[in-house]
Amino acid sequence: MNPDYINSLLPANMEPTLQFLAFFFILSFIPLIVVTTTPFLRIIIVLSFLRQAVGIQSPPNLVLNGLALILTVFVMQGPIDEINKQAIMPLARKEIKLAQAMNIAYQPLKKRMLEQVDQRDIEFIYDLSEKPSPKSPKDIDFTSLVSAHILTELRISFSLGFLMYVPFLVIDLIVANTLLALGMMMLSPTIISLPFKIMIFVAVDGWSLVIKGLVESFR
C-alpha cells in the first residue's frame, strides 16, 4: 500500500464532508481488515476446532467471536497503541489528513504481518501472480502481503487444530473399542465419550492451556 496510491484515493484537498464519508466507508471494511491482517483468523479457527473436537455446540459462536476478538486485542496491543498515538490521535486533532493517517496506521500492521508470515507463502503468491519477487520486505505490496499472511495463518491454525483434535479422538477410539469389547454395539460411543472428554478438559484446565498456547504461538 503506497502513499501515492492512498493519496490518489483520498486527495488532500478533499472536502471535509467527503472525507467523513470516506472515513465511514473505510469503517465498513474494519471486520475484513481484522480477519485478514490480525491474529483473529488463527484464534477463531483454533477455537472452532476445539469445540468440534469436544463434540458440543458450546460455547456459542458469539462467545467464541468475543473471546477471539479480546485475544486479538491482547496480542496486538503494541501495534494498536502505536496506531493510536501516531495516526488516530493526530487525525482527531486535525494535525494530519485521512490519507496520511491510513499510511501511518498501515506500517505497524505491515510490520506485524511480516513477523508472522512465512516467506514461502510470499514467494508462492508472487509466483502465482507472475510478478517479480520483491527485493526487500518494504517492497511487498499490500495485496500480496495480506494474501500470504492469510495462507500462513490458515496453515498454522489447522496444524494447531489437528494437535488439539488428536487427544479427543483417542478418547473416542478407547470408548468405541471398550463398547465393542463389551458387545454394546448399539450404544453410540459419542454419548459415552462426551462426558469423559469434558471431564478431562476441565481437569487439565484446558481453556487456560489453549489460550496460553494461542498467545505464545504469535511470539
CA distances, 86 to each of 80, 89, 99, 112, 143 (Å): 10, 7, 13, 16, 23
**Any domain includes 156:** yes
**Any domain includes 188:** no
Residue 2 has pLDDT above 70, yes or no: no
Residue 187 has pLDDT above 80, yes or no: no
Lowest mean pLDDT of 21-25, 74-78, 132-136, 162-166, name the range.
Answer: 21-25
* pTM summary value: 0.77
Please check whether residue 124 is in contact with residue 148, taking contact to mean a CB–CB distance below 8 angstroms: yes
**Any domain includes 132:** yes
**Any domain includes 43:** yes
How far does Cα 38 stand from its chain's mean position?
Answer: 5
* Mean per-residue pLDDT over the chain, rounded: 80
**Any domain includes 103:** yes
Structural domain of residue 65, as residue ranges? 3-163
d(CA 97, CA 60): 41
List, for residues 193-218, the tens digit of each pLDDT value. Answer: 788 888 888 888 888 888 888 888 88
CB neighbourhood size of 63 (10 A) = 12
d(CA 204, CA 167): 12
Residue found under cell 520483491: 134
Say which residues have a Cβ less than 8 Å from residue 100's Cβ, sequence separation at least 6: 3, 91
| Helical ranges in the chain per DSSP H | 3-9, 16-27, 30-37, 40-54, 61-75, 77-83, 89-92, 98-116, 119-129, 142-181, 189-203, 206-216
**Any domain includes 16:** yes
Phi, psi of 55 (to 5 degrees): 95, 20
d(CA 26, CA 44): 23
pLDDT for 3 equals: 43
Structural domains of the chain, count:
1
The C-alpha cell at 22 is 470516506
pLDDT for 131 equals: 78
